[in-house]
Structure 1
Amino acid sequence: MSIAIRDVREHELDSVLALNNAAGPAILPLESARLRQLYDHAEYFRVAERDGALAGFLIGFGSHAQHDSRNFAWFAERYPDFFYIDRVAVASRRRGGGVGRALYADVQSYAELRYPQLACEVFLEHGADHALLFHGSFGFREIGQHVMTQDGLRAAMLMKTLCSYPWVRDTYGNVLPDVAWLQRPRKQILAVRPTGTDA
Structure 2
Amino acid sequence: MPITIRDVREHELDSVLALNNAAGPSILPMDAAKVRFFWEHAEYFRVAEQDGLITGFLVALSQDAPHDSPNFLWFRERYERFLYVDRIVIARPRRGGGRGRAFYADVQSFAEPRWPQLCCEVFLQSGNDPALLFHGSFGFREVGQQVMAGTEIRVAMLMKEMCSHAYVAQAYGDKLPDQPWLRARALPGRAPSRATGT
| TM-score, normalization by structure 1 | 0.92
Structure 1 residue 189 displacement after superposition = 6.4
Unaligned 5+ residue runs, structure 1? none
Matches within 5 A, 1:177-196: 177-187=177-187, 190=190
Structure 1 residue 157 displacement after superposition = 0.3
Residues 33/65 of structure 1: CA separation in 2 closer, same or farther (3 Å cut): closer
8 A Cα contact 2:114 2:197, kept in partner: no
Residues 159/191 of structure 1: CA separation in 2 closer, same or farther (3 Å cut): farther
8 A Cα contact 1:41 1:190, kept in partner: no
Residues 198/118 of structure 1: CA separation in 2 closer, same or farther (3 Å cut): closer
2:38 paired residue number: 38
Runs of 4 or more above 6 Å deviation: none
1:123 paired residue number: 123
2:28 paired residue number: 28
Residues 93/185 of structure 1: CA separation in 2 closer, same or farther (3 Å cut): same
Aligned residue pair count: 197
| TM-score, normalization by structure 2 | 0.93
8 A Cα contact 1:17 1:30, kept in partner: yes
Distance 1:159 1:17 in 2: 26
1:4 paired residue number: 4
Unaligned 5+ residue runs, structure 2? none
Aligned-partner SS, 1:36: helix
Structure 1 residue 32 displacement after superposition = 1.4
- 2:69 corresponds to 1:69: yes
Deviations 1:39-95 (A, max 9, x none): 111111110112221110001111122211110000011111111001110001111
The one of the two structures with greater contact order (alpha-carbon pairs below 8 A, sep at least 6) is 1
